[in-house]
Amino acid sequence: MNHGFVKVAAAIPSVKVADPQYNVQQIESLVIQAEGKGVEIICLPELSLTAYSCGDLFGQQLLLDEAEMALINLMNTTRSLNIISIVGLPVPYRGALLNCAAVVQRGKILGLVPKTFLPNYREFYEKRWFQSGADVPEGTVLICGQQVTVSTNMLFSTPSCTFGVEICEDLWAPVPPSSKLALQGADIIFNLSADNDLVGKYTYLQNLLAQQSARCICGYVYSSCGFGESTQDLVFSGKGLIYENGILLAETKRHQLTEQMLETEIDVDRLRGQRRLNTTFAACATQLNNLTISQFNNFKGQSNSQIVKSSNCQIIDTERVPARPFSLTRAIDAHPFVPTGARLDERCQEIFDIQTEGLAKRIKHTGAETVVVGISGGLDSTLALLVCVSAFDRLGLNRRGIVGITMPGFGTTDRTYTNAVNLMKLLGITIREISIKEACIQHFNDIDHDIEKHDTTYENSQARERTQILMDAANQMKGFVVGTGDLSELALGWATYNGDHMSMYGVNASVPKTLVRHLVNWVAEHTKDESTKQTLLDIVDTPISPELIPADEQGNITQKTEDLVGPYELHDFFLYYLLRWGFRPAKIYLLARQAFGQKYDDATIRKWLKTFCRRFFAQQFKRSCLPDGPKVGSCSLSPRGDWRMPSDASSSAWLKECDELG
């Protein structure tokens, strides 16, 4: 089972200009290598059978005949192979010469896609030799002994995906053919290109490919010619790039003097899921369909070829071949919520700004004189406090209006208590300390609960007592409570209902735990006060715990959250792929093994994946009544926004699939 992944390749052969027999041998070698690696579809550069830079030799019948013979050789070589090959060659057609992509499988040419937009400026003069596919009627041509469809509006259907083809300059058009092909069902676009090198052009190309693949919500495979092309006036460095919905999956090295092949897997399942959720994409597809129907009606009485060119594209079925063994080779980010390098700094700044602005608006709207935050010395409350400080500073308010309340309980340790108090002092906010021990003991007596019985009642009573203090203190001081709970806790239901689950505004509600740590660390690294920095860094290094169970004899935390519910990095990974992409447990497990294989064994991943699925369903009732809070990233569990799930939905199908994982 390939879980919706399609293995593709962009290949760049070494060529000799105007020597199709040499070129096809290089191409065949690459195709055979790709077949051995399980590649389903391989894309070669534009005019790869002849080389792109033949110039006026394209007018020579001998070169055209040699190109056709080379294509016959490729068909014969691949007759017993399952791989689909896309190669470029010049094709005479109805008195014109077309720059075509030939789609070949098992000795058959499935279709010929001519180039639509021909550059005719600066160094490129393609209109000197070729005619646009848009300027000739669709039809068939006899080539290599087969009658083959010639069309710019053609899709190819395989058991695992539907793909379309465009050629080089087509991508650079204001409305590329790939836009229409994607709206008509193409999951992947293959581009056969001949893109010369100029200073700064490669960066522009990368941006263009990223934008087009994102706009079309598609996979995009780009293969541009390299070594062996004429360097009389231009240099072609060999560019292979593979994108998926705006993300670069793989790229070749440029200016190599040998052949290259780039292969990876495109997640078609993910793309299709994203398209289903994207109403704008569906609306554009509907508009396109309505347009073609209208055009069809306007063509009444005209030739069939004119009607065909304006109607929906043709679907060409490829040959159904036996399923081939699948292994995932593409890199999977173990921390999808946390970017790396310079992007992490930018992301943290952006998220912190969103949190700050959200809270500032709430303060301004309510006219609150204070905000109240429960400060535990842990990550979540620290981030919430830092956001409060940022909001007050931006509003020009005195930080004394931020009331931090530390509420020591039965499980509070010296380390977290000291960090909580020190941080509040360093930030210059109002500090209140209210112990919950006596109130909880009284409560246990009232409900006849044994204080030595450290069960759910024992833990939740403390959480609810703290929330009651915060709420009443906020009323007392004409303010509101700022919530501290994060996205990961909401996903797992790791919060006490009507306890720490409740507030007037939750600034961390869509920030996952793995990112909370980085945000606090980011603030620490950017603060000018060394004492504040060291306190924040110690909080970052403190084990995550609700501290509701007494510490050990040495005063160390005994109740570590990740020992009870599992590693947050795993749960955030599961959450991302379940919530953002709608993946089933089996696929999430496949991705997790690829991402965490060196850190967790399969049994551990399976255990915590089942825990996640069980808790995610069982704890929905807590998410159905969440306080307001800003969405900062692509995932949110707000019942008013991204996630509207019945509290009594059955988890049986998800848990069953977890049990069947091997």
* End-of-domain residue from the set 302, 317, 332: 317
Residue 494 domain-assigned? yes
Task: Specify the range with the lowest mean pLDDT, choosing from 321-335, 343-357, 370-384, 609-623.
Answer: 321-335
Residue with tokens 């004409």: 478
Question: Taking 70 as the threshold, does the pLDDT of residue 293 lie above it?
Answer: no
Residue 281 domain-assigned? yes
pTM of the model: 0.88
User: In this structure, are 296 and 347 located in the same domain?
Assistant: no
Query: Would you place residue 376 in the very low, low, confident or very high pLDDT band (cuts 50, 70, 90)?
Result: very high
Q: Which residue has the higher pLDDT, 180 or 232?
A: 180
| Dist. CA 289–CA 161, nearest whole Å | 21
**How high is the pLDDT of residue 322?**
81
Q: For the segment 464-515, what is each residue's pLDDT rounded down to a tens digit?
A: 999 999 999 999 999 999 999 999 999 999 999 999 999 999 999 999 999 9
**How high is the pLDDT of residue 554?**
65
| DSSP structural state of residue 455 | S
Instruction: Report the amino acid identity of residue 411.
Output: G
Q: For the segment 329-373, what is each residue's pLDDT rounded down to a tens digit?
A: 999 999 999 988 888 999 999 999 999 999 999 999 999 999 999
Question: Taking 50 as the threshold, does the pLDDT of residue 303 lie above it?
Answer: no
| Dist. CA 550–CA 413, nearest whole Å | 8
Catalytic-role residue among 161, 168, 225, 635 = 168
**How high is the pLDDT of residue 195?**
86
> What CATH number did the domain enclosing 581 receive?
3.40.50.620
Residue with tokens 């069902």: 185
Q: Which of 55, 237, 67, 244 is nearest to 143 (CA)?
A: 67
User: In this structure, are 313 and 347 located in the same domain?
Assistant: no
User: In this structure, are 557 and 434 located in the same domain?
Assistant: yes
Q: Is 168 a catalytic site residue?
A: yes
**How high is the pLDDT of residue 233?**
84
User: In this structure, are 412 and 452 located in the same domain?
Assistant: yes
Question: In total, how many domains does the chain have?
Answer: 2
User: In this structure, are 303 and 422 located in the same domain?
Assistant: no
CB atoms within 10 A of CB 538: 17
Phi-psi sector, 42: left (phi>0), alpha (psi -120 to 50), beta: beta
Query: Would you place residue 299 in the very low, low, confident or very high pLDDT band (cuts 50, 70, 90)?
Result: very low
Q: For the segment 27-85, what is each residue's pLDDT rounded down to a tens digit?
A: 999 999 999 999 999 999 999 999 999 999 999 999 999 999 999 999 999 999 999 99
Q: For the segment 80-125, what is each residue's pLDDT rounded down to a tens digit?
A: 999 999 999 999 999 999 999 999 999 999 999 999 999 887 667 8
User: In this structure, are 72 and 186 located in the same domain?
Assistant: yes
**How high is the pLDDT of residue 551?**
65
Residue 325 domain-assigned? no
Query: Would you place residue 298 in the very low, low, confident or very high pLDDT band (cuts 50, 70, 90)?
Result: low
Task: Specify the range with the lowest mean pLDDT, choosing from 284-288, 375-379, 594-598, 622-626.
Answer: 284-288
| Dist. CA 128–CA 134, nearest whole Å | 16
- The percentage of residues in the chain with a pLDDT greater than 70, rounded to a whole number, is 94
User: In this structure, are 353 and 313 located in the same domain?
Assistant: no
User: In this structure, are 408 and 295 located in the same domain?
Assistant: no
Residue 247 domain-assigned? yes
User: In this structure, are 306 and 436 located in the same domain?
Assistant: no
| DSSP structural state of residue 556 | -
Catalytic-role residue among 28, 35, 40, 46 = 46
User: In this structure, are 408 and 290 located in the same domain?
Assistant: no
Question: Taking 60 as the threshold, does the pLDDT of residue 296 lie above it?
Answer: no
Residue 332 domain-assigned? no
Cβ within 8 Å of residue 306, ≥6 positions away: 137, 299
> What CATH number did the domain enclosing 273 receive?
3.60.110.10
Residue 328 domain-assigned? no
Task: Please give, one letter per residue, the 3-state secondary structure of 216-236.
Answer: CCCEEEEEECCECECCCCCCC
User: In this structure, are 261 and 361 located in the same domain?
Assistant: no
Residue 132 domain-assigned? yes
- The percentage of residues in the chain with a pLDDT greater than 90, rounded to a whole number, is 82
Instruction: Report the amino acid identity of residue 257.
Output: L
Catalytic-role residue among 40, 43, 66, 115 = 115
Question: Taking 80 as the threshold, does the pLDDT of residue 599 lie above it?
Answer: yes
Query: Would you place residue 309 in the very low, low, confident or very high pLDDT band (cuts 50, 70, 90)?
Result: very low
Ordered DSSP codes for 468-518: HHHHHHHHHTTEEEEE---HHHHHHT-S-TTTTT--SEETTTT--HHHHHH
Query: Would you place residue 526 in the very low, low, confident or very high pLDDT band (cuts 50, 70, 90)?
Result: very high
Which structural domain, as residue segments, surrounds residue 254? 5-317
Contact 219, 348 (CB under 8 A): no
Length of the chain counted residue by residue: 662
SS3 state at 260: strand
Residue 87 domain-assigned? yes
User: In this structure, are 246 and 352 located in the same domain?
Assistant: no
Joined tokens for residue 486: 């994060």
- CA of 56: how far to CAs of 22, 52, 125, 126, 389, in Å? 20, 11, 10, 10, 70
Kindly report the average pLDDT of the chain as a whole number: 92
